[in-house]
């Protein structure tokens, strides 16, 4: 049985292990020419954001944040909205039109019984 932990050790910050993120793929010159991104673990090329959205996102947040610090140990900056409504609608429309959705099926064993799992994604292509 592990030794008892003191209350002070419970509230002490945990040591974080920093692992490099190997899934991050930088945009390449080929991506810029084709207008699509490529990723080694995703089967479909994804269209880049339109330049108008990319430039607008560089100016975010849309409004000055409101500081919320009226409670002990709370330091928060609240942005409402973080993305202005017209940009949010453009981004939503872009994502709905350009992201390929597909149904994923896989089997798992639950309580000794094989179960087929179907994710609720619809095909758009």
DSSP string covering 50-104, please? PHHHHHHHTT--SSPPEEE--STT--EEE-SSSS-HHHHHHHHHHHHHHS-----
Residues 6+ apart with CB under 8 A from 100: 44, 46, 124, 125
Q: What is the pLDDT of residues 104-113, one digit of tens each?
A: 788 999 899 9
User: Looking at residue 121, what is its pLDDT?
Assistant: 61
CA-to-CA distance for 12 and 31, rounded, in angstroms? 45
pTM of the model: 0.51
Q: Are the C-beta atoms of 120 and 105 separated by less than 8 Å?
A: no
Domain borders along the chain are: 49-125
- Per-residue pLDDT for 46 more than 50? yes
pLDDT band at residue 90, thresholds of 50, 70 and 90? very high
Note the pLDDT of residue 92: 92
More confident residue, 1 or 75: 75
């Amino acid at each position: 049985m592990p030794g008892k932990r003191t209350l002070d050790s419970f509230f002490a910050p945990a040591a974080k292990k920093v692992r490099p993120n190997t899934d991050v793929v930088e945009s390449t010159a080929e991506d810029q020419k084709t207008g699509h991104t490529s990723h080694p673990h995703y089967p479909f090329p994804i269209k880049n954001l339109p330049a108008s959205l990319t430039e607008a996102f560089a100016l975010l947040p849309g409004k000055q944040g409101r500081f919320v610090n009226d409670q002990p140990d709370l330091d928060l900056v609240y942005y409402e909205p973080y993305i202005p409504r017209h940009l949010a609608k453009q981004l939503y429309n872009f994502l709905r039109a350009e992201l390929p959705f597909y149904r994923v099926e896989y089997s798992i064993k639950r309580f000794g019984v094989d179960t087929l799992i179907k994710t609720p994604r619809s095909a758009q292509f």
